[in-house]
Amino acid sequence: MQHGDYYQRLWDDFLELADKIDGMVDDLGKRYSEFDSESVTFKRRISTGKSIFSSLVRDAEQAFAPTGGTLQIDTYEYLDWKKPLEQYEWSNFSPSGLWAALEEAYGGSKGVEIGYRQTAHDLIHTFSLNRDDSVERKSGYVILRIRVWMDSFDRKWSKRNRLNYSCADTVNKSLSTLSAFADWAGDDELAFACKRLRWSTQHDVTSREKTIVSGNLMIVTFLEYFEFRFTQQLAENLQIFLGQYGFANHEAAA
């Protein structure tokens, strides 16, 4: 069964049941003046419809994403599909129609292409890459960096160097993005390692500490930045990936 058909049946069955309950709720409203029957029935329909909307978008992100990668769908483009809920036009809310629209926009290779473009955009942004930048090399590795800041409270009161929340989040998102790229490149070891590795705000940062992520990637931590060291082969694959999905689209959006 397709996603749209499933949620359409759920919505139709829910409305049928809700209509039956309406009579019971109205009766309570007549007997007890404090009971807001309209609020109960309307709010339940709206919340259920919005839940179905969110579930369909989430299902589409999973169904149409690149293998091992991610896809982010802008829900603002589909807000019109929720208008019947806000206007109490319950029968006009169409889960099957919404799924058809999502499938048209992201089905086939479209979602894969968009997902890879999003991954490339995130890599360019996170590592502050530019098509014309010269490549830094060190000890046979190609070097990319992420600027980080230590948590000021920990530094002042406990004399410990720990990432602040925002930087920990940035580092972890970069690992998730690298995992998606690694899947595209066919580097299963790196893809798995990047999904598993996480930096916590409780993790002490030691300057010049090395973390071997995989045979193709090493991370060296400093108090001002994290240094990602790519092997030449991995760096070449990244260059191909960004050339295909990244720089042209990123520059057009800038």
Domain boundaries, the chain: 3-108, 114-253
By three-state DSSP, how is residue 150 classified? Answer: strand
Residue (of 99, 16, 117, 22) closest to 59 by Cα position: 99
- Total Cβ atoms within 10 A of residue 197: 18
Beta strand residue intervals within 16-126, DSSP E? none
d(C-alpha 210, C-alpha 220), whole Å: 4
d(C-alpha 182, C-alpha 144), whole Å: 16
Residue (of 247, 214, 210, 209) closest to 231 by Cα position: 214
Could you read off the pLDDT of 173-207 as tens digits, one per residue? 999 999 999 999 999 999 999 999 999 888 899 99
Residue (of 69, 118, 107) closest to 245 by Cα position: 118
Could you read off the pLDDT of 112-123 as tens digits, one per residue? 999 999 999 999
Q: What percent of the chain has pLDDT over 90?
A: 70
By three-state DSSP, how is residue 43 classified? Answer: helix
Rg (CA), the chain: 25
The whole-number pLDDT of residue 14 equals 87
Reading the block at residue 8, the tokens are 């359409």
Residue (of 229, 27, 228) closest to 141 by Cα position: 229
Could you read off the pLDDT of 6-60 as tens digits, one per residue? 999 999 998 888 887 776 666 655 665 554 555 557 778 888 999 999 999 999 9
- Name the amino acid, one letter, at 53: F
Could you read off the pLDDT of 198-237 as tens digits, one per residue? 998 888 999 999 999 999 999 999 999 999 999 999 999 9
| Sequence-ordered list of residues with C-beta below 8 angstroms from that of 216, at least 6 positions apart, any chain | 187, 189, 190, 230, 231, 233, 234
Q: Is pLDDT at 135 greater than 70 in this prediction?
A: yes
Average pLDDT, the chain: 89
Tell me the longest C-alpha to C-alpha distance in the chain. Answer: 81
